[in-house]
Chain A
């Protein structure tokens, strides 16, 4: 038995390529790089050929890739040890944002620590799924009711700290990222269906507690034409951009909607509309296939992971990624209400890119550190 083991390890080492030595998953990296290259091209076009904007985006991508590489080096068992502490830290940061956060653009989301200014809610996108995974690391199928309740409480608590910032959109999405881990941990189907029914029934109550601007967004979503000067204008213009792209698009740099400045936030939240206008339905399908490929590879990594903690993290991260993609595209195409949310790996901007790439780094670490973990 012992001899066998040594032999397998030796065989394994011999086949190990360069990428695996530096704990990088080639397939995942390929998908990510293709998406990032698309991002640079579209950001350049959406900004009307602004070289300064493109340069900044490339620098950010370089930085984020470096972070991914660094996080890929951290073995998952180290992450396991730190997860509860990270959660504690995250909660403390969320509370300090409420107490002495910077008020930027109407809501209190930023925290200033010396030269660094960041949104703790952004980090929570990673920490919450990890914490829920940590909670179920040694749990059996089906998990105990008390553990499920504890998990739900953690998610609700974190979500409520972000709701009061106020940032309803982010809080819902972070809540979903936690819930997806609960799902993979074996949340009973009965509970899932009851919860969905509950959400639908409680919508009128939630309406009552919404901020005026949030109500406005929902109303605008339902009837965009009612507010053609405000946010309804965004949706109308975005739909025109997408629809006018047709099947094969207007060609690269050919987006008239973005260039004539009909389209708002064309490099950030509405970047998908520029892509759809320039590359048409075929471009959209290509992009969604790329995304599906990355998600599929991530879920495959989850299926190959050898303990509960890592596979729950991997699956949870992929579901978070999916939700962000779906909500952004759903928003710009008028299927969902307007929530200020970037398109993962596509939009111009740094903070969401950084957290995403860290999550990919962790995924790669899970996949490439696995053999060391078995013993």
Chain B
């Protein structure tokens, strides 16, 4: 054998192997000794002390039960309840204790007359394969009547018990669903990232909106209870208890009455309304339509209803307020004008002649008014929404100066609102196009950018925030939905000449109140002065995936936009309205915006603006 010869010829290596093997023997001996210690320990537990532990096991009547925390409630700003916990009845099943599983299945199918029998049956099919000794809750709630029906026959079905638990309910239904969000059953993915200790006994979690963002605040911490049971597992008495810490209640900045009013104004239209208190960033109304009922999701929505919502061409799940990206259209003009006069690209009094179009590189950029506006200064350009004026201006400024002037208002950036899923929108610049599209900027694109078309995309919330910052004369605010949400002190946009700001704001006031203003007919009756700007955004391109012959025509209609705030000199509310494919801004969005502002001032400032009315009637609580 060559191996053997090798060792003989090299006594050093032989010695090496010998010493290694010695250590192997020692290690194995060590292993055996420690295993022997384990066996000794087991002998002690299982043989010598067996009687004692057997006794303990039989009398093992102290078990630990988790007390799930009560989820915090959500209120509106006037302490009106928006998300509540209602006691409901449910059935708990333990397979080990059940005598006839099929008869229980049938009995439950009969009692749950509002649920498709197949869904109960499907639950039972799954249940049969799961842990025999664990208790599972039937995912359907029982009405009080059904609970009573079951109590009558419960003695025939051991292992099935009626239990009361708290179920999340949203008394206002679909109202404000995109702000409030909803809870649903914890899924596998969420489970992985949760602390199992904190969620023991809890099977729901915030899925969207406030319910998700403030999950840790709302959830609370579970408690523990020692329960003494008899051998068959029946509860004899409750011993030591560590009570659960309930989740904290949350007060929103929303006014649910204003919210309902605003939603009703949207009717069947798709779109969004955002109302903000410009002084502190509190969101007063947060509308995204169409809406859906969050109550459907709490106990798990059935496939049919879910698919119906998911495939609804109006896309109710999309939170248009923060995730809808729209060309801002002419609502961008006040910000453009302010940027131009603050940075001395034009004097507010300088007049430009508008023949109804601008020619640049053989291309004719048309004004919305075919015959043109004639001689136009800044005020007239905003009041009549003259496009040519801004086309000219944009060529003087260039896209990067426009970007620099508009970005302090928060265009193209997250607003930082306290719900998830916000979109950034787009405020284009040369750098942006290079990075995202990989192409150089064309000056023609600057021209269409100046009237909020082209690459420009903004969310309704961004638009409302920018309006609020303008109303504030440059004080930056961060929109938020929860009253106690702490916002850091934010900057003030640098003001070069305050009169420039006042001039732009006066022009916006003229949009509403002067003879030529695009929204004059909607604001005539108001007892206060407001500022506003209408916008009509062309829908340039269609998403190829959304192509649908029947709805194509409608989807090509213009978006209708409006921004505004009131009162002009002491702004209490700033607003943005976007109604998809609903025509011109002055026709659709402006009256909605005016009504919401009016309603708000009626509720909160009736003494000042509506002294003849009975204020008690208007104000809740």
Q: A260-B233, A262-B63, A322-B31 are in contact. Are A48 and B133 (CB under 8 A)?
A: yes
Residue-wise, chain B 128-162 has the 8 Å CB interface mask toward A (1 for contact) of 01111110000000000000000000000000000
Given the complex, which residues of B lie within 8 Å of A115, measured CB to CB? none
CA distance A178 to B227 in the complex (A): 46
A233-B64, A276-B42, A315-B27 given as contacts; is B16 within 8 A of A261 (CB)?
A: no
Chain A residue with minimal CB distance to B225?
A229
Cβ-neighbour of A292 out of B20, B35, B96 (below 8 A): B35
Assess the A246–B27 pair: CB atoms within 8 A: no
Query: With A and B bound together, what is the CA distance between A360 and B613 in angstroms?
Result: 86
B45 is an interface residue with CB less than 8 A from chain A: yes
Q: B131–A333 contact, CB under 8 A?
A: no
Q: Which chain B residue shows the least CB distance to A312?
A: B20
Please determine whether B53 and A48 come into contact, CB atoms closer than 8 angstroms. Answer: no
Contact with B along A229-243 (1 / 0, CB 8 A): 100010001011111
Report how far A80 CA is from B2 CA in the complex, Å: 25
Q: Which of A127-135, A218-226, A278-286 contacts B (4 or more CB under 8 A)?
A: A278-286
User: Which of A240, A302, A315, A374 gathers most chain B CB within 10 Å?
Assistant: A240
Question: Taking CB as reference atom, which chain A residue is nearest B1?
Answer: A8
B66 to chain A, nearest CB (A): 11
Does B368 lie at the interface of the complex (its beta carbon under 8 Å from any beta carbon of A)? no
Please measure, in the bound complex, the distance between the C-alpha atom of A257 and the C-alpha atom of B64, giving whole angstroms.
Answer: 13
Which residues between 317 and 362 of chain A lie within 8 Å of chain B, taking CB atoms?
A: 318-319, 322, 326, 329-330, 333-335
A169 is an interface residue with CB less than 8 A from chain B: no
Contact B60 A242 (CB under 8 A): no
Interface mask (A102-119 → B, CB under 8 Å = 1, otherwise 0): 101110000000000000
Say whether A183 faces chain B, with CB atoms less than 8 Å apart: yes
Find out whether the CB atom of A244 lies under 8 angstroms from the CB atom of B57: yes
Asked if A311 CB lies within 8 Å of chain B CBs, one says yes
Contact B23 A183 (CB under 8 A): yes
Q: Is A17 close to B, CB under 8 A? A: no
Asked whether A229 and B20 contact (CB < 8 A) given A259-B96, A288-B38, the answer is: no
CA distance A173 to B38 in the complex (A): 19
Segment from B192-200, B549-557, B587-595 that makes contact with A: B192-200
**For B129, what are the chain A residues with a Cβ–Cβ distance below 8 Å?**
50-52
Q: Is the CB of B240 within 8 A of A229?
A: yes
Q: Is the CB of A104 within 8 A of B193?
A: yes
Q: Which of A229, A233, A302, A330 is the one whose CB lies under 8 Å from B242?
A: A229
B431 CB within 8 Å of chain A:
no
Is B24 close to A, CB under 8 A?
yes
* A141 engages B19 (CB within 8 Å): yes
| Residue in B19, B47, B131 whose CB lies within 8 Å of A49 | B131
Known: A285-B39, A329-B38. A311 touches B20 (CB 8 A): yes
In the complex, the answer to whether A243 meets B34 with C-beta atoms within 8 Å is: no
Residue B54 CB within 8 A of the other chain: yes
Q: Give the complex CA separation of A311 and B27 in angstroms.
A: 14
Given contacts A186-B23, A260-B60, contact A239 B45 (CB under 8 A): yes
Partner of B42 from the list A186, A241, A281 (CB cut-off 8 Å) is: A281
Residues of chain A lying within 8 A (CB to CB) of residue B21: 303
Q: When the two chains form their complex, are residues A240 and B53 in contact, meaning their CB atoms are under 8 A apart? A: yes
Contact call A284/B60, Cβ cutoff below 8 A: no
Nearest CB in chain B to that of A326: its residue? B34
Chain B CB within 8 A of A5 CB: yes
Classify the secondary structure of A's interface with B.
Answer: helix
Contact with A along B19-53 (1 / 0, CB 8 A): 11101100110011011011101110111011011
- B-side contacts of A49, CB under 8 Å: 131-132
| CB of B88 closer than 8 Å to a CB of A | no
Q: Shortest distance in angstroms between A339's beta carbon and chain B's nearest beta carbon?
A: 16
A140 at the interface (CB under 8 A from B): yes
B35 to chain A, nearest CB (A): 5
Chain B residues with a Cβ closer than 8 Å to the other chain, count: 51
* B42 proximity list for chain A (CB < 8 A): 242, 276, 281, 284-285, 333
Answer yes or no: B56 CB below 8 A from chain A CBs: yes
Q: Is the interface of B mostly helix, strand, loop or mixed?
A: helix
* Binary contact readout B47-76 vs A (1 if CB under 8 angstroms, 0 otherwise): 101101110111010011000000000000
Instruction: Report Cα–Cα, A70/B11, bound state, in Å.
Output: 37
Q: Is the CB of B24 within 8 A of A303?
A: yes
Q: How far is the CA of A260 from the CA of B58 in the complex (A)?
A: 11
Q: Is the CB of B46 within 8 A of A5?
A: no
Once the chains bind, are A229 and B52 in contact (CB under 8 Å)?
no
A105-B195, A233-B64, A288-B39 known; A243-B96 Cβ under 8 A: no
Q: Would you call B603 an interface residue if the criterion is a C-beta within 8 Å of the partner chain's C-beta atoms?
A: no
Q: Does B105 contact A (CB under 8 A)?
A: no
Q: Which residues of A contact B46 (CB under 8 A)?
A: 242-243, 245-247, 276, 280-281, 284
Interface string of B94-111 (1 = CB under 8 A from A): 001000000000000000
Closest chain A residue, CB of each to CB of B45: A243
- Among B19, B21, B37, B53, the most chain A Cβ lie within 10 Å of the Cβ of B53
Chain A residue, CB-CB nearest to B16: A141
B34 nearest CB across to chain A (Å): 5
CB closest residue in chain A, given B23: A184
Which of B15, B27, B52, B242 has the largest number of chain A CB atoms within 10 A? B27
Question: What chain B residues lie within 8 Å of A284 (beta carbons)?
Answer: 38-39, 42, 46
Q: With a CB–CB cut-off of 8 A, which chain B residues contact A302? A: 24
List B contacts of A299 (CB < 8 A): 24, 27-28
In this assembly, does B430 line the interface, its C-beta being within 8 Å of a C-beta of chain A? no
Does B226 sit within 8 A of A, measured CB to CB? yes
- Measured CB to CB, the closest approach of chain B to A326, in angstroms, equals 5
Q: Known: A260-B63, A261-B133, A322-B31. Contact between A229 and B226, CB under 8 A?
A: yes
CB <8 Å contact, B131 and A240 = no
A296 to B49, CA, bound (A): 32
Within 8 A of B (CB), among A79-124: 102, 104-106
How far apart are A331's CB and chain B's nearest CB, in angstroms?
11
Cα-based distance from A276 to B50 in the complex (angstroms): 12
Verify if B224 is at the interface (C-beta below 8 Å from A): yes
User: What's the nearest-Cβ distance from chain A to residue B276, in Å?
Assistant: 34
Tell me how far the C-beta of B38 lies from the nearest C-beta in chain A, rounded to whole angstroms.
5
Cβ–Cβ < 8 Å partners of B57 in chain A: 240-241, 243-244, 256-257
Q: How far is the CA of A37 from the CA of B42 in the complex (A)?
A: 23
Interface residues of B (CB under 8 A from A): 2, 12, 15-16, 19-21, 23-24, 27-28, 31-32, 34-35, 37-39, 41-43, 45-47, 49-50, 52-54, 56-58, 60, 63-64, 96, 129-134, 192-193, 195-196, 224, 226, 233, 240, 242
- A-to-B contact residues, CB < 8 Å: 4-5, 8, 47-53, 102, 104-106, 140-141, 180, 183-184, 186, 228-229, 233, 237, 239-247, 256-262, 276, 280-281, 284-285, 288, 291-292, 295-296, 299, 302-303, 311, 315, 318-319, 322, 326, 329-330, 333-335, 374
Query: Given A140-B16, A183-B27, A245-B46, list of 13 further CB < 8 A pairs?
Result: A48-B96, A48-B134, A49-B132, A229-B242, A233-B64, A242-B42, A243-B45, A243-B54, A244-B50, A244-B56, A246-B46, A260-B60, A329-B38
* 8 shortest interchain CB distances as A-B pairs: A243-B53, A244-B57, A48-B131, A259-B133, A48-B133, A243-B45, A281-B46, A50-B131
23 A-B pairs whose Cβ atoms sit less than 8 Å apart in the complex: A48-B132, A49-B131, A52-B129, A52-B130, A104-B193, A106-B195, A180-B27, A186-B20, A229-B224, A233-B64, A239-B53, A242-B53, A243-B57, A256-B57, A259-B96, A261-B63, A262-B63, A280-B46, A285-B42, A315-B24, A326-B38, A334-B41, A374-B2
